[in-house]
Amino acid sequence: MAIIEVLGPRKSYGTTVAVDGIDLDVAEGEILGVLGPNGSGKTTTVECIAGLRRPDAGTVRVAGVDPAVDRERITRLVGVQLQQAGLQPKLTVREAVALYASFFDRPLDGVALAERLGLAPKLGARYADLSGGQQQRLAVALALVGRPRIALLDELSTGLDPRSRRAVWEVIEQARDDGATIVLVTHNTEEARRLCDRVAVIDRGRITALDTPEGVISRTGERRRSVAPGPARVGRMPRCARSPHDARRPPPRRASRP
């Protein structure tokens, strides 16, 4: 059953069309990856799902409600990690996870979650004094500390070293095992292969492919070599003949840890 329904939303900024009639649904318990070049509409799509932006046309439903209207319910259901966290500079890591945990009835142990993400030495550090990678890991912790039913994660491992990236992946896998539905914006094909049940490719505001990670990567990589093996970045995607609505949705995977 779909917990997220994206029904033809369109969103423009002036004369620039960011989202141009995307149709997509996400099953409960699924991890859906969203790939595409910079400026393709990935982040705007996620912001519409989160209710942070209202589409100019079309409909978005999350757990049956309009996320831009029923904000109180959505904030309790959805954890969001965007590329700009916007925390107060003087807030420490310990204070941040405690603050976010206080908004929910059954939160995770915020300190333990931060430690799993490699932030144990930085619990007393102010947000402004963290490196970019540490801020990124803290944003992941804040998105997940409330045990959200849905997590929306935007470029969660960009700029992380391999060890930190693996720690983040393990936390995401645990969230999925605990029942969360996850939408993951990524450029990293290794990340998509490891975590995602399906991948949607967005280019110029439209879905051009929707398939398993291997299916999408083989189509895009073999045709133009725009995707290299491993943690490569995705370049301009070719238009795929396969309709997004033809993609089979495999059952959500359980984590397969190395």
- For residue range 146-195, list pLDDT tens digits in order: 999 999 999 888 889 999 999 999 999 999 999 999 999 998 889 999 99
Q: What letter would DSSP give residue 126?
A: B
- Nearest CA to 49 out of 65, 28, 27, 72 is that of 65
Per-residue pLDDT tens for 216-226? 988 766 555 44
Helices (H), 147-231: 162-177, 189-195, 213-224
CATH code for residues 2-246: 3.40.50.300
- Nearest CA to 170 out of 129, 116, 128, 94 is that of 116
Distance (Å, whole) CA 54 – CA 236: 27
Per-residue pLDDT, 223: 52
User: What is the residue extent of each domain of the chain?
Assistant: 2-246
- Nearest CA to 155 out of 12, 62, 46, 255 is that of 46
Confidence of residue 239 (pLDDT cuts 50, 70, 90): very low
Assess whether pLDDT exceeds 80 at residue 202.
yes
pLDDT above 90 as % of the chain:
77
Distance (Å, whole) CA 162 – CA 200: 25
Handedness of CA 236, 238, 244, 246 (dihedral sign): negative
3-state SS assignment for residue 122: helix
Per-residue pLDDT tens for 35-56? 999 899 999 999 999 999 999 9
Distance (Å, whole) CA 96 – CA 131: 16
| Number of Cβ atoms within 10 Å of the Cβ of 5 | 16
Assess whether pLDDT exceeds 80 at residue 85.
no
Q: What is the mean pLDDT of residues 127-155?
A: 95
> What pTM does this model have?
0.83
**If you average pLDDT over every residue of the chain, what do you get?**
87
Tell me, what amino acid is at 120? A
